Structure 1
């Protein structure tokens, strides 16, 4: 029987290997087939005349207030000084190595994209560092600088970077060809940059031919490697967006083959986008991945894509516009001080293009999308929000008054219960007082760049909620982007000054049902945390504080909180207070030392009062 089981297991493994090999052979055949078709385009030397998000006219609208910043940034790029994913700068020598992680000093060797292992705990690197540079965000900044100054040096830098990148990244054979999302974002930025510099005298006929060929081959790759699995996410949305931008680029081309490609991509992407947005966007307008940052990225991708369709008088399904409106409305409801997102769920700083260089220095600032949506008539002029704000399907609630502003997570976890970019943050809260961030979500840190940090900042212990020692509210140890849901959170009451909810994350392990009730008054907040069963010295309530907050423990039940002249007192009944170290990450790849208040529950009911001093 054992031998039989082993034989069956071996047969299953062999069958899986056979299927994988078949799929790889098919992909390589398709790539070769499309490369042969490429012979039809090798002499096409015209840049498109179609319009994209930035053009000669819109540069004045979007860049007028920060022209000096664009020129300053572009001059740094001329000196091979590039922004990294965290918003800092990387100083590179004379020649850029487009396959090198400059943060971890790791070089990715060239091989077929199917042979890479992107998540390897034995190797100290984060492939996102390489991808970020190869997304070509900086090309758009250089192109904007050219529009402002007519300085051909900026165009020559674009040409040099694109062609050295092409030399170092043969089609299908580098780490920059492993994920279609990266290919899609790269081609969008390449198209946007070229549309701004197409009248430059720095291009010769051969360069134009090669650049058109490069755009074409990016489309071939995305078309043959669509990231559509059992559960799709922002990756597949980016693939569809990339195909639309390529379709717009080649629309009206003098080459019949390019025109056919344009029609093919646009028709397919429109049909798929309608379905995907119905699937990925909840009824309340929020993305089902359970991350405010990724919702911002998705909103940007859809807004900018609809924007270029309208600029080129390309009709598209009305359903896309209706969904885009709901998405931007959901984003607006969560902006703190009408600018910043709360760091609920993962934060990887992703953008489609850099729409606003100034806001890009703060990766939590999404106010520029509100401005774009208003210009596209998707939003009315800002209306005052009224408490409570409900994104009920997504499980995000906001209760506020003139002094306090609280955002609470209480609902199903991301990807319909599979996890995705969700954290163990059920019944966790974010608190702002008079516009100052006081209690925060810890952010993300890294993905594969630091596995321990990734797990730590995703864990229950790093969120402002109930934590049972050594136990998670949902199982996060099954994968970097996976969870097993146990919390099954429920909202019990929400009104203009009250929130109450519960979860069952510790019911199976400890027989505990957890209820949290928050009540807002003009000069204080009362938080009531209740557990159905007390485990002495094992049950804690955490509050994670912003790194600019100063905490001073007065005694076992009182802590003074200070920030920028603001003074607040935290007092508790039913427990004892300790102040511990805590990492937080406001930007991917960047961490800061902060603190958390850990309250040991000594009763089944804990009362926390936060009052102004």
Structure 2
């Protein structure tokens, strides 16, 4: 009863505030800023902030600015030109983020949605009545792209350009755009306040903007009092709106990181100590819950694990600036970055397991690729003195400089790089496995999603990808996860990209592994069991199952075994347990540029860019028929590409097992019938030797019943879908 009353009080209070503020908007005021902080005038406020040196993040801007700037130009000449080029575009009133345009006629369109091409009417944020259970037909408004503009991460470019050049015109543009935005959006009004996460991301950006711009007289004289008041009002809005009620996720982490940064950087605010105490209280609890013992994120998503890594990098810097030193952020950061290193390709590309959107805690490097984690690995190597993270980063990164200046680059250079001691690793808590033979020799790399699809509390950012895998050959992607594409612009496309049919798994009777919905982030729970994991000098083995089809009237239990041999071949064996007749579909989503073809022996040849390839051959004498179909791939949020997706389908009585071998082919290498037979026999011997406790297969084993041809009618009703 007490919980209900507390919730009712919160709702009534928020509704009353929304009604009051929709009638009387709260707008920042430079004079109020001075008086609220105990200064007699705005001039006194400016003088105070000009004199004080501490507290400070990125203190190189005060200690060794010119020396560090020279180091940046020497180390990253192309990046310096890119930053100034992007800042010049902002000075012209041009904003383009992830190839979406947010400007027209030299002015930023703060209310414009680039997907639906709509101008969003301004109202108090609570009255938008936005709900993830809404219908979202094709072409719907996508707030993710609006949120990206209102994080103000792009405005940090103006502060960076000022640091690199000392030119006040960048500060003039920054002052103009911040002032325009402040007057466009009273506190609590418009899409910038629709979700509290966006407020937190913007406050992080404003803290960074302040550090980069505070040495400018034009920023101090023309902008600082209004900036301070607007920042304080947003921080108060954030504090009142923390996402601490109900299931929690990366939202509340971001909110508390932002609140702590504001409290540390601006201790003059009367509420600063209260904000810091609340942020630390929540962070202690949430970091323990959201970062699992194996270093992965509890959200079942590599994209949001990357986001958490960025938050932890900020927390390490907060810890450096804080006198409390109360959070164990270093071990958390090391675990999260180490697991991302294992799950990523040799080029630092992170597979898109689960949702990958545009969420970032900061954006200081010039690249926009959300899947490239090398910037974060470099920052972690410098912060933690970690040799394996430096090995993964390959070289120093811009982010290291922007947080630590020339000293950070020197610290990175002094770390001795070497790969992790183990090439393969299972992450049982997060539900991922990375199979590779060597870090130094880029042979085959297999990453398997072997966990559930929901986070504690239900829903989240997982997809129907239990036992799905991605594959690299020689550092080149071959089999991929399709990614996310969209959240809100289309419910239909949202569900297509997170569906079973969009992943490299066995689909039974056309059914989803887990039920999708009712909302865009809801999905039913699926249990999994990891039966075996072994790493030795000859092979790496993985063996797991899931319960997604146990709900059928005739329950079905898919089990997947994988063996990566030291000869650089991969064996995949699927054992489908159950009773009765069922339709089984296997799909293999090829990376862009990979072209499949069927050989004379009925096996599959994947032609890779550059001329080499992969041979996929059945280890049974009777082969299903390959269908050279197509699928979808999203290289980044909001974009989709058609890709090849070879498929085969079997209508059979259960139980059944089917095994595939995947063998790399050199450029121009041809495989005739005799060679195929030899490879198949060798792989069968290896398979029987590597997986304990399962029935061996032989070269003469046939598939039960018959393969189902592509043009054959499929009548699947009544099978418990």
Question: Could you tell me the TM-score, scaled by structure 1's length?
Answer: 0.89
Distance (Å, rounded) in 2 between the aligned partners of 1:587 and 1:60: 34
Task: Note if 1:324 corresponds to 2:333.
Answer: yes
Deviations 1:353-373 (A, max 9, x none): 11321xx33220111111111
Distance (Å, rounded) in 2 between the aligned partners of 1:559 and 1:367: 34
- Contact 2:200 / 2:259 at 8 angstroms: preserved in 1? yes
Q: How does 1:372-387 map to 2 (within 5 A)?
A: 372-377=379-384, 379-381=386-388, 382=391, 383-385=418-420, 386-387=422-423
Among 68, 76, 96, the alignment partner of 1:83 is 96
Distance (Å, rounded) in 1 between the aligned partners of 2:613 and 2:346: 20
Closer, same or farther in 2 for the Cα pair 1:59/1:213, shift >3 Å? farther
Closer, same or farther in 2 for the Cα pair 1:55/1:185, shift >3 Å? farther
Query: What root-mean-square deviation, in Å, do the aligned CA atoms of Structure 1 and Structure 2 show?
Result: 2.8
Deviations 1:88-129 (A, max 9, x none): 555532221212112321111111111113355267210111
Closer, same or farther in 2 for the Cα pair 1:19/1:199, shift >3 Å? closer
Task: Note if 1:434 corresponds to 2:474.
Answer: yes
Counterpart residue number, 2:663: 611
- Contact 1:388 / 1:494 at 8 angstroms: preserved in 2? no
Counterpart residue number, 1:568: 614
Among 186, 207, 224, the alignment partner of 1:208 is 224
Counterpart residue number, 1:3: none
Closer, same or farther in 2 for the Cα pair 1:201/1:356, shift >3 Å? same
State the 1:414 CA deviation.
3.1
Q: How does 1:114-133 map to 2 (within 5 A)?
A: 114-119=126-131, 120=134, 121=136, 124-133=140-149
Task: Note if 1:362 corresponds to 2:369.
Answer: yes
Question: Could you tell me the TM-score, scaled by structure 2's length?
Answer: 0.77
Q: Which has the higher mean CA deviation after the structures are superposed, 119-128 or 443-452?
A: 119-128
- Contact 1:576 / 1:602 at 8 angstroms: preserved in 2? no
Corresponding pairs, count: 590
Q: Which has the higher mean CA deviation after the structures are superposed, 454-463 or 103-112?
A: 103-112
Deviations 1:290-331 (A, max 9, x none): 111101111111212321441x35342142333233222222
Q: How does 1:437-476 map to 2 (within 5 A)?
A: 437-476=477-516
Counterpart residue number, 1:102: 114
State the 1:188 CA deviation.
1.2
The answer for unaligned runs of 5 or more in structure 2 is 392-417, 666-721
Distance (Å, rounded) in 1 between the aligned partners of 2:359 and 2:332: 21
- Contact 2:555 / 2:579 at 8 angstroms: preserved in 1? no
Counterpart residue number, 1:8: none
Task: Note if 1:275 corresponds to 2:277.
Answer: no
Distance (Å, rounded) in 2 between the aligned partners of 1:61 and 1:342: 33
Task: Note if 1:286 corresponds to 2:286.
Answer: no
Among 545, 548, 551, the alignment partner of 1:502 is 545
Task: Note if 1:585 corresponds to 2:634.
Answer: yes
Counterpart residue number, 2:352: 343
Distance (Å, rounded) in 2 between the aligned partners of 1:535 and 1:148: 69
SS of equivalent to 1:590: coil
- Contact 1:581 / 1:594 at 8 angstroms: preserved in 2? yes
Deviations 1:564-588 (A, max 9, x none): 2221111224522112111111211
Among 227, 235, 242, the alignment partner of 2:251 is 235
Among 552, 555, 579, the alignment partner of 1:511 is 555
Closer, same or farther in 2 for the Cα pair 1:67/1:206, shift >3 Å? closer
Among 2, 8, 16, the alignment partner of 1:25 is 16
Closer, same or farther in 2 for the Cα pair 1:90/1:469, shift >3 Å? farther
Distance (Å, rounded) in 1 between the aligned partners of 2:187 and 2:569: 60
Distance (Å, rounded) in 2 between the aligned partners of 1:224 and 1:196: 28
Q: Which has the higher Rg, Structure 1 or Structure 2? A: 2
State the 1:59 CA deviation.
5.6
Counterpart residue number, 1:51: 56
Distance (Å, rounded) in 2 between the aligned partners of 1:365 and 1:519: 28
State the 1:335 CA deviation.
2.4
State the 1:469 CA deviation.
3.7
State the 1:538 CA deviation.
2.2
SS of equivalent to 1:529: strand
- Contact 2:516 / 2:522 at 8 angstroms: preserved in 1? yes
- Contact 1:54 / 1:196 at 8 angstroms: preserved in 2? no
Among 518, 524, 539, the alignment partner of 2:584 is 539
Distance (Å, rounded) in 1 between the aligned partners of 2:501 and 2:601: 21
Closer, same or farther in 2 for the Cα pair 1:23/1:313, shift >3 Å? closer
SS of equivalent to 1:74: helix
Counterpart residue number, 1:154: 170
Among 159, 182, 190, the alignment partner of 1:174 is 190
Counterpart residue number, 2:445: 405
Counterpart residue number, 2:463: 423
Counterpart residue number, 1:250: 266
Counterpart residue number, 1:5: none
